[in-house]
Structure 1
Amino acid sequence: MRVTILRALAALLVALGAALTLPVPAKADQVIEGIFTYTPAEGTPGLWTVYPSCVPVVGDLREPLYLPVGCRLHIQGSNGVTGGDAVLTGGMWAFTTPKDRGMQCPDGTWAPTVEVIKFDDVTMTGTRSVTHTGNCGLPPGIINTPFTLAFKEPLPIPVDRYPLICEPGGLRRCF
């Protein structure tokens, strides 16, 4: 019985050692793309057209890793919905857009605002935060509005998510 247990442990150690030394192919996480319906809790709904562009992450120099860490989402808004270039920050996609005419004052003039948009591409929910400095005679503040996204349709043209070609091995220069 003792010999059987030792043989089983030896076989397990050999299998574990082989698994640790063999290269594992990189698995690509999906990055969102397409046309999405943007629906805020308050305000006018619109559309987001999302085009991803990514750069392969170096990894262990054997294989490039295709992770969303090396991606940027180019978001084009419609119907007055804000767009911008989102990057993955702390597990959320985020972008900031300053607007010269972001808030209409009570007297009819316009004041600048800064919009910060953060969203989760798994739950398809996010928050739009509009910061104003009190230029209209109002106290400065931040207006947070939650929103949801829903896939509407694919992009009208095909997208190459990884347009750069990187050299194999070494420094991985990309062009």
Structure 2
Amino acid sequence: MATFSAVLAVVLGMSVASTTPARASEVMEGVYTYTPADGTSGTWTIYPSCVPVVGDLREPLYLPVGCTLHVAGSQGAPGGDARLVGGVWSFTTPNSKGMKCPDGTWAPTVDTLSFDDATMSGTRSISHNGNCGMQPGIINSPFTLAYREALPLPVDRYPLICEPGGLRRCF
């Protein structure tokens, strides 16, 4: 009987110890090199901000589904707030100087960036409305990401405090 009690204690101890976020480590965080297929490389600094998914109300589920990646772009790399949709992170941002016209002026565009954090690759879609005497269209260009370094300051991925039961309102 003592052996059964010891095994039960170990199993219960393991279940309590495993209440850490199961997939929180899979959320992108850090400084990355953004390299487009055509053009110059830039830098993305990614800060995640997440909300626990409700689940069955007993324990919050820490999944990337409840996250937003705040992407700060520099050196020509666009930035925005990316959300996970269908397994791909995506954000849209206006670009006041997105396309250089033949006469040397700049025309506005809307950039949509979609990327897969598993393959560290994505597509930048540049939509233009026919400025510069061209037909309206979308220009798709692939890019890759490469991890460079950790963020300069630690980030609390789950900054909200949620109620322990009921509807799990977070504040």
Which residue of structure 1 lines up, in the alignment, with residue 34 of structure 2? 38
Identity across the alignment (%): 70
Displacement of 1:58 after TM fit?
Answer: 0.5
Matching of residue 151 in structure 1 with residue 147 in structure 2:
yes
Which residue of structure 2 lines up, in the alignment, with residue 96 of structure 1? 92
Which residue of structure 1 lines up, in the alignment, with residue 5 of structure 2? none
For 1:62 and 1:174, how far apart are their aligned partners in 2?
15
Matching of residue 113 in structure 1 with residue 118 in structure 2:
no
SS in 2 for 1:103: strand
For 1:119 and 1:132, how far apart are their aligned partners in 2?
21
Cα shift readout 1:147-167 (whole Å, capped 9, x = no counterpart): 111100000000000000100
Q: Return the letter of the residue paired with 2:57.
A: L
Which residue of structure 2 lines up, in the alignment, with residue 28 of structure 1? 23
When structure 1 is superposed on structure 2, of 115-124 and 132-141 the one drifting more is 132-141
Cα shift readout 1:99-140 (whole Å, capped 9, x = no counterpart): 222112112222110100000001101001101111110111
| Partner of residue 133 from structure 1, selected from 117, 129, 132 | 129
Which residue of structure 2 lines up, in the alignment, with residue 19 of structure 1? none
The gaps in structure 1 that reach 5 residues or longer are 1-21
For 1:147 and 1:100, how far apart are their aligned partners in 2?
21
For 1:111 and 1:56, how far apart are their aligned partners in 2?
41
For 1:119 and 1:107, how far apart are their aligned partners in 2?
33
Which residue of structure 1 lines up, in the alignment, with residue 49 of structure 2? 53
Cα shift readout 1:60-88 (whole Å, capped 9, x = no counterpart): 00000000010000000110110000000
SS in 2 for 1:136: helix
Which residue of structure 2 lines up, in the alignment, with residue 173 of structure 1? 169
Matching of residue 77 in structure 1 with residue 73 in structure 2:
yes
The gaps in structure 2 that reach 5 residues or longer are 1-14
SS in 1 for 2:145: strand
Computing the radius of gyration over CA atoms, which structure comes out larger, 1 or 2? 1
Runs of 4+ in 1 over 6 A off after TM superposition: none
Report the RMSD for the aligned CA atoms in angstroms.
Answer: 1.7
